[in-house]
Structure 1
Amino acid sequence: MAEDRIARASLFLASGTIVSRVLGFLKAIVLAATIGVVGSASADAFAVANGLPNTVYVIVAGGVLSAVLVPQIVRASAHADGGSAYINKLVTLALVVIGAATVVATALAPLLAWIYGSQLPPATLQLAIAFAFWCLPQIFFYGLYTLLGEVLNARRSFGPFTWSPVLNNVVALLGLVAFGVAFGFDPDGTRSAGEWTPGMIALLAGSATLGIVAQAVVLFWFWRRIGLHYRPDFAWRGVGLGSAGRMAGWTFGMLLLTTFAGIVQTNVLSTASGEGASIAAVDNAWLIFMLPHSVITVSIATAYFTRMSEHARDGEFGRVRDDLSGAIRAVGLILMLASAVLVVVAYPFAAVFQPGNLANASALGNVIIAFAIGLVGFSVLFVVQRTFYALGDTRTPFVFTLVQVAVFTTAALMTLLLPVQWVAVGVALATTLATTIQLALAVILLRRKLGRLDARRVLTSLVRDLAAVVLPVAVGLWMVTAFGAFTPGGFAIADRWGAILVMAIVGTVMLVLYGAGLWLFRSPELRGFAAPALARLRRR
């Protein structure tokens, strides 16, 4: 019954994420048609500015809330009032901190934009600063969204957290369309930084911020539906918030490390701005990379996380180990295929953003490939990290993140030795390398903490998945080549709809071959997914 609940929760989370991500891709496509991607000064400036709110928010509270809030609320649920008083105090404290950070960050917009974009051409940097003043207020609403959503998750109301970004994407899409109609579309990114007027900047960046506002505020309605009513409570002493603060301290340190890595990445990429794949191209490649991770890994891990926290609270570490094994095997089953498909259709996928131009499609496509080969490891690391959080341990993730940042920084700086057109690919490969090393260390440290892991079953499952994906990759590569993915003017890259059609055909063929291979290999994970559907069909 517990596994059924996990499956239903994961499916519901995934459905909301799928809708949101589809709209997110549509937004990214419209944004690319509006300001370009590869070689676009406008796109690089907006990428720097629109990334700042999320970066600052993550430094201040983002990962801290995810790592600390759910376990603390689960523990507080044993209180006579179900944890309501504790929730009000914690949310009030967090909003005060995040609100203050938002005011300070917005005032420091020129400095923050310079930190991340000091290597940009001067005119592009000035445009990034102008965008940043409009984008940085998003920090407060990112915080509000996470706070309200994580409380809902801890109360097993999983849907709103994944469905509210749909509203964000709709609002932002309307803003982009309005911008294109009012000021013209620029898919090749030829509009110079000096051509932007205050009205253009306000409409593009302001509509992006308005989407985040809508995404956060709508969650208050869902709070009321589950019987929660937020009342500001500033009486923070004597209610056990000290333990939350100690946990948050290590997570804060970890986030500072990843922020440092982000600064290195953006400045390295800035050296290619206007000449090849740069900040905007890597942002788009990361968006593509994160699609299967967000739909599959986050949905599965979020559903398992609350249960892991409950088992850890009760000292049932054997069940925590079982949760970890089940989550990794479920993630690996799907992400192995997703990684393979992304590698195979990388050029057509890039052509969705930059159609009709093999040079631009290959520049973006190579970055997608460099990220995609590390997808399974990245997603498994996400599950392992959440296991530490469920155990109330935020110190150990700091340790293996320190190693990851050191490896990434060294590798990213070395990419400056590459020709400018390969810098973005080098940065993506540096990310994959650093994540792989981080995962290996994290698993070793988790094994010490839990005594043992279900390693044999997990490794057998992953090797089986890898073996089953070999034939689909070979067939998929033959198909995209036949469709002209690597040929100037080829059907797979000539226009947006042709690229989408090729991806759909190749992805479907690879899915069928992968499923057949897993079935022949008698994959228990596949049969576990298929059994409920087959049972329903037999009953009908």
Structure 2
Amino acid sequence: MTSEHPPRIRVVSSAKAADTGGIGRASALLASGTIVSRILGFVKLIVLAGMIGAIGNGADAFALANQLPNTVYVIVAGGILTAVLVPQIVRASLNADGGAAYINKLLTLALLILGATTIVATLLAPAITGFIGLPLKGDQLGLAIAFAYWCLPQIFFYGLYTLLGEVLNARKSFGPSTWVPVLNNIVAIAGLVVFGLLFGADPNGQRSAGAFTPAMIAVLAGSATLGVAAQAVVLFYFWRRTGLRYRPDFHFRGVGLGTAGKMAGWTFGMLILSTAAGIVETQVALVATGKASVFVLATAWLIFMLPHSVITVSVATAYFTRMSEHASRGMFDLVRTDASSAIRGTTLMIVLASAVIAVCAYPFAAVFVRPFEQVQGIGNVIVAFILGLVAFCILFVLQRTFYALGDTRTPFFFTLFQVVLIVAGVLGCTLLPKEWIAVGIALVVTLSGIAQTVLAAVLLHRRLGGIDGRRILGSLARYLVAVLLPLALGLALLWLLGGAREGGFAVSGRLPAILSMILIGVVMSAAYFGMLLLMRSAELRAVVDPLRARLRR
């Protein structure tokens, strides 16, 4: 039987290898841009903490105001664009015009909605800030509102960036949307440097809310908004390079926008739920102002998101386009294979990243703050978040698999399940001592996320008739066994370097903390990959074999 069809077997294998290679190249391009952007993001956070402190009235007011554009944007359009755009554009690309008419109409409609939303939100800055920052009073509330007037225009530019970037991703041009955030960070860092030169630094957060002048507010918040605007507008250049031309089109009938609207409705409901949970988290965290609060949660979340952004998003974004193509052709067995490959490929690295960040939580915190009490505050929140990183990354792939299938209704219900758990748990955190409120919130988010991931996996299994569960669980079990020795070595090194005690080398300053993290990370990585090689991990061989072949060539 094999001898009758050797050409077909060779052709299928070659095509499969080429397809896998394409996914690998796209993921590598996405990861490289994300790494540079995230490094600059941490530099920006370090500089910001040096300018206004990590704990204090000014830091919390700015953190709250700078989160508002994301909050409003996510409610109005954030996940809707991701959930709807790529699958719909992939389907529209089968049209004779390659989807050009659909893209122009969709972009015109989205920009109108974003523009109107931005204007209304900016006019309502006092009401929005007062509602989300309910515990803020007096000068601190006034400062947050002043920051919000400068920050809320970011809504439009976040939406523009997402729209242009997702269209490029659907056209398999993955690089630009990943690399342009680098420009955002450069502009924002430059603004912070100017702030320091003009008004001086306050690394311990001792400057009162009333001490911020209009000029200080304009430079600090205005440069943040300018960075977001720069990353969005520059994508028009890459549109032209890929042959796309935007022409406003107000004739919204006839290109299937109704289907997109139905999908968007469920996603909109899901985002309302998530935002409601986020508002509850913020208000409970503000109870702890003066201890680990909003700024600390935001910093810990940024660290938590680092491996997710570099690894999971890079791999899943490339797979998402392919899953959408397979789903549009009814090839659901290939959708199932794609989802399994994406989960196993990402968790291979995410398990290691979780262990390294958990061990290095205190040194990581010491990069941003100096007093050991603040190091402990941020470090404990990092550990509480990082326990849920593997589940969070698996959930990301599962959710995008539903989106590729054109199903936004099911994600709404498993998000509702998570939000109920979060709201109940976070409200319970008000009973904790102030210094433990942020840690409690992070643990609630972690545990509810794990429960949500299990539910999402069960629902996707029913939808596809299976998700390659045994293979995925088998891989996860190997990764968890392989990481035990690296975890023990990392903790031993952390203890020797004084990373868990006041005055220890690993938490004595920025440079010692970075050197300690590099040493611990290298030792843990070598031990982890060594264990996987001894265990003959198929997933590791899938990564190592192409590298070996390339090096030999």
Equivalent position of 2:425 in the other structure:
411
Equivalent position of 1:94 in the other structure:
110
Offset at 1:536? 2.2
**CA distance in structure 1 between the partners assigned to 2:265 and 2:502 by the alignment:** 53
**CA distance in structure 1 between the partners assigned to 2:500 and 2:37 by the alignment:** 31
Equivalent position of 1:301 in the other structure:
316
Say whether residues 1:283 and 2:298 are aligned partners: yes
Report if the CA contact (8 A) 1:120-1:273 is conserved.
Answer: no
Equivalent position of 1:387 in the other structure:
401
Q: How do 1:269-280 residues align onto structure 2 when only pairs under 5 Å count?
A: 269-274=285-290, 276-280=291-295
The share of aligned pairs that are identical, in percent, is 63
**CA distance in structure 1 between the partners assigned to 2:432 and 2:241 by the alignment:** 55
Equivalent position of 2:449 in the other structure:
435
**CA distance in structure 1 between the partners assigned to 2:289 and 2:144 by the alignment:** 13
Equivalent position of 2:54 in the other structure:
37
2:483 aligned counterpart, secondary structure? helix
Report if the CA contact (8 A) 1:412-1:430 is conserved.
Answer: yes
Say whether residues 1:349 and 2:359 are aligned partners: no
Report if the CA contact (8 A) 1:183-1:200 is conserved.
Answer: yes
Offset at 1:194? 0.6
**CA distance in structure 2 between the partners assigned to 1:34 and 1:531 by the alignment:** 47
* Per-residue deviation, residues 200-251 of structure 1 (Å, max 9, x unmatched): 0000000000000000000000000010110110000222110000000000
1:353 aligned counterpart, secondary structure? coil
Offset at 1:122? 2.5
Backbone CA RMSD of aligned residues: 0.6
**CA distance in structure 1 between the partners assigned to 2:82 and 2:551 by the alignment:** 39
Aligned length: 536
State the AA in 2 paired with 1:416: T
**CA distance in structure 1 between the partners assigned to 2:548 and 2:321 by the alignment:** 29
Equivalent position of 1:332 in the other structure:
347
Offset at 1:35? 0.7
Offset at 1:487? 1.7
Offset at 1:481? 1.1
* Per-residue deviation, residues 77-109 of structure 1 (Å, max 9, x unmatched): 011110101100000000000100000000010
1:156 aligned counterpart, secondary structure? coil
Offset at 1:370? 0.2
1:512 aligned counterpart, secondary structure? helix
Query: Which structure 2 segments of 5+ residues have no match?
Result: 1-17
**CA distance in structure 1 between the partners assigned to 2:552 and 2:189 by the alignment:** 43
**CA distance in structure 2 between the partners assigned to 1:120 and 1:333 by the alignment:** 43
Offset at 1:164? 0.5
Equivalent position of 2:539 in the other structure:
525
Q: How do 1:40-55 residues align onto structure 2 when only pairs under 5 Å count?
A: 40-55=56-71
**CA distance in structure 1 between the partners assigned to 2:426 and 2:95 by the alignment:** 48
State the AA in 2 paired with 1:313: S
Equivalent position of 2:469 in the other structure:
455
**CA distance in structure 2 between the partners assigned to 1:330 and 1:111 by the alignment:** 45
**CA distance in structure 1 between the partners assigned to 2:104 and 2:110 by the alignment:** 10
Equivalent position of 1:261 in the other structure:
277
Offset at 1:142? 0.4
Q: How do 1:188-207 residues align onto structure 2 when only pairs under 5 Å count?
A: 188-207=204-223
- Write out the 4+ residue segments of structure 1 that deviate beyond 4 Å after TM superposition: none
**CA distance in structure 2 between the partners assigned to 1:106 and 1:11 by the alignment:** 38
Offset at 1:120? 2.1
Report if the CA contact (8 A) 1:293-1:379 is conserved.
Answer: yes
Offset at 1:453? 1.5
State the AA in 1 paired with 2:296: A
**CA distance in structure 1 between the partners assigned to 2:539 and 2:160 by the alignment:** 37
TM-score (norm: length of structure 1): 0.99
Further displaced range: 117-126 or 136-145: 117-126
Equivalent position of 1:238 in the other structure:
254
Further displaced range: 111-120 or 93-102: 111-120
Offset at 1:382? 0.3
Offset at 1:123? 1.8
Say whether residues 1:171 and 2:170 are aligned partners: no
* Per-residue deviation, residues 41-82 of structure 1 (Å, max 9, x unmatched): 111000100000011011111100000000000000011110
**CA distance in structure 2 between the partners assigned to 1:520 and 1:111 by the alignment:** 59
1:528 aligned counterpart, secondary structure? helix
TM-score (norm: length of structure 2): 0.96
